[in-house]
Amino acid sequence: MISKSIGIVGARGHTGAELIRLVQAHPGLELAFVSSRELAGERVADHIDGFAGDLRYESLDAEGVAAKGADAVVLALPNGKAAPYVEALDAAKPDTVIVDLSADYRFNEAWYYGLPELTRGLWRGQKKVSNPGCYATAIQLSVEPLKDLLAAPPVSFGVSGYSGAGTTPSDKNDPEKLRDNLIPYTLTGHTHEREASRHLGVPVEFLPHVAPHFRGLTVTTNIYVARPVKVEDIAARFRQRYASEPLVKVLDEAPWVSRIAHKHHAEVGGFTVSNDGKRVVVVATLDNLLKGAATQAMQNLNQVLGFDEFTAIPKD
């Protein structure tokens, strides 16, 4: 198998840690560097269970990352921080594969938007990949099989574990403030609302909340349809659409967020239809750190680097 070198910027975060584990297990990828200002000088093995080797975190600016000359770089940075790294990599080695986990390039036509189950056929050899948002992934998987039936914008109610709020301290990732609580936020115009709307090609309304659990999210989507439907026909649509997708599992019952933690796939189910047949409800769950971020990034890396898409991704 061919060998490619890869670096991770923003490796201290929850998603960075998951990516390190996936890369470590990949037979064709070599982890060339991991960049973290806060952990600079410390051994990766002291922070990542099961990691083998003496690799240490480094504090690298954009030019430092570009100077490493890696075949691929994953940017696991907060929104608004990716551009200097992209510019430096373009200047030093334009053919570097870049997978950006932030929202910075999800609206940029020059970048491939990598939600493989829905967009892999749109890949045209781009080296720059924008990794979808976790909520946006769940919303799109819930709505796409019913797009031709829509009578109104779907409305998605989402609840995520607090790992989705990152590691920078805030009310949304403070376990004490979240105890016995549910915090709503950005109830109109959320980035993932705009993202899902853009890539589905239909408007979506999204209501996010954060809960006391650490990882995993659930999205319940209410969909009004233009003609009466039967629940068995809705379920059949989803089963047919995702029949060949190992990382999307279609269930009869509503999936539970507690059952998706540490899993690499998404689950969609709980299909319910109103008595008049004109309202459909769909429930989707995924681990926001895996299928919502690191696992999806690995799918995209595999595709762009020429590996089988599911290499190093555990079968749940």
Catalytic residues: 134
How many Cβ atoms from other residues are within 10 Å of residue 58's Cβ?
A: 18
Q: Which strands sit side by side in the sheet containing 183-184, from one edge to the other?
A: 183-184, 205-210, 155-160, 217-224, 279-286, 266-273, 248-250
| Token pair listed for 97 | 């594969």
Q: Can you tell me the distance from the alpha carbon of 316 to that of 300, in angstroms, rounded to the nearest whole number?
A: 19
* 20: CB partners within 8 A, 6+ apart: 8, 11, 31, 34, 44, 48, 51
Amino acid at 51: F
Q: What is the dihedral of CA 284, 290, 292, 295, to 10 degrees?
A: -110
Q: Taking a C-beta distance cutoff of 8 angstroms, is the pair 255, 270 a contact? A: yes
